[in-house]
Structure 1
Amino acid sequence: MASSSSTRPPPTKVSRSASCLCGAVAITITGVDKGAVLCHCSNCQKSSGSSFAHNYRFLDADLTFDKGEDAVTRYEDGNTTNGNVLARHFCKVCGSNVYLQPCTPPRMFILHTGGMQDKTQPARELFTQNKHPWVGDVTPIKAKV
């Protein structure tokens, strides 16, 4: 009797595209889907100007600039919880956060979902010890823009 293999097939790579607020930067990231998360770390709160950042994570990933590579600048954030430096990339024109990348392996990219064409519901929350207790407990209103 032949034995069956218990090895898993290689993970499927996915692509997601995003752009900044002014449209000067457009990127595509292709990598292994690690899903969307809400990050409540104090650095994401400060960087996003909000209570959390909604991020989409890719492992073994590659980034392609569809346009505007010269419009991107980077801030190396060394004040992280684990001490690893995280490069935060944003548009020089409008200031939109575009993506993050750890400065040490593995090849990982973190895409801010606000700029994504396809929004993805988060499956997890990170750094919940920093989560504001009122997040999720407010009454929604219909905003007029």
Structure 2
Amino acid sequence: MPYYLGSCLCGNIKFEVQGDLDSFYLCHCHYCQKDTGSAHAANLFSKSAKLTWLAGSKSVTTFTLPGSRHKKSFCKLCGSAMPSIHEAGLLVIPAGCLDAEVSMSPTAHIFTSRRAAWEDATSDVPEFEGLPEPTKRA
């Protein structure tokens, strides 16, 4: 049975997910943009995998947006996104909180009608392997 280890940025929370992952969605809805501060969320989904908190479970905080099904769990110390259980036992795992590379390719982009306008403009933007040197202003 596959298993995945994960943790938060400060290292207080550690968890394990055992079981198969069903899908990997890049969600462009406004809720995911707000709670990631980015163009989209990258979440893995499983109907059968089991989540076990190995350390720091008391530091996991969950916010559910009133009037919606949007839920986000995070570390109350460092703010890192953490896995959460949604309706009907659906496990949602933010891909970036796993401690190993995700071998699964994204299944689909979803809520693309809400895609950030600036996201499409990134194809011609320069790329750097690390933080670029500051540029001097005239």
Could you say which TM-score interval applies, normalised by the shorter chain?
A: 0.7 to 0.9
Identify, as 1 or 2, the structure richer in strand.
Answer: 1
Report the alpha carbon displacement of residue 30 of structure 1 after superposing the two structures with TM: 2.5
CA contact (8 A) 2:21 2:49 kept: no
Q: Which position in structure 1 is the counterpart of 2:85?
A: 101
Amino acid at match of 2:34: K
Report the alpha carbon displacement of residue 143 of structure 1 after superposing the two structures with TM: 4.4
Distance 2:47 2:28 in 1: 21
- CA-based RMSD: 1.9
* 1:76-130 CA distance string (max 9 Å, x none): 22343xxxx343210011011112332x31x111111111122243121111111
Report the alpha carbon displacement of residue 47 of structure 1 after superposing the two structures with TM: 0.6
CA contact (8 A) 1:30 1:58 kept: no
Q: Which runs of 5+ in 1 are unaligned?
A: 1-12
Q: How does 1:115-130 map to 2 (within 5 A)?
A: 115-116=97-98, 117-119=100-102, 120-130=104-114
CA contact (8 A) 2:29 2:111 kept: yes
Distance 1:100 1:49 in 2: 19
SS in 1 for 2:32: helix
Structure 1 stretches (4+) deviating beyond 3 angstroms?
A: none
Q: Which runs of 5+ in 2 are unaligned?
A: 132-138
Report the alpha carbon displacement of residue 26 of structure 1 after superposing the two structures with TM: 1.1
Distance 1:15 1:31 in 2: 6
Distance 1:40 1:134 in 2: 12
Amino acid at match of 2:61: T
Distance 1:31 1:108 in 2: 13
Q: TM-score, normalised by structure 1?
A: 0.76
SS in 2 for 1:135: helix
Distance 1:17 1:127 in 2: 28
Amino acid at match of 2:50: D
SS in 1 for 2:22: strand
- 1:66 paired with 2:49, answer no
Q: Cα 1:71–1:35, aligned 2, differ >3 Å: closer, same or farther?
A: same
CA contact (8 A) 2:31 2:70 kept: no
Q: TM-score, normalised by structure 2?
A: 0.80
Identify, as 1 or 2, the structure richer in helix.
Answer: 2
Q: Which position in structure 2 is the counterpart of 1:15?
A: 3
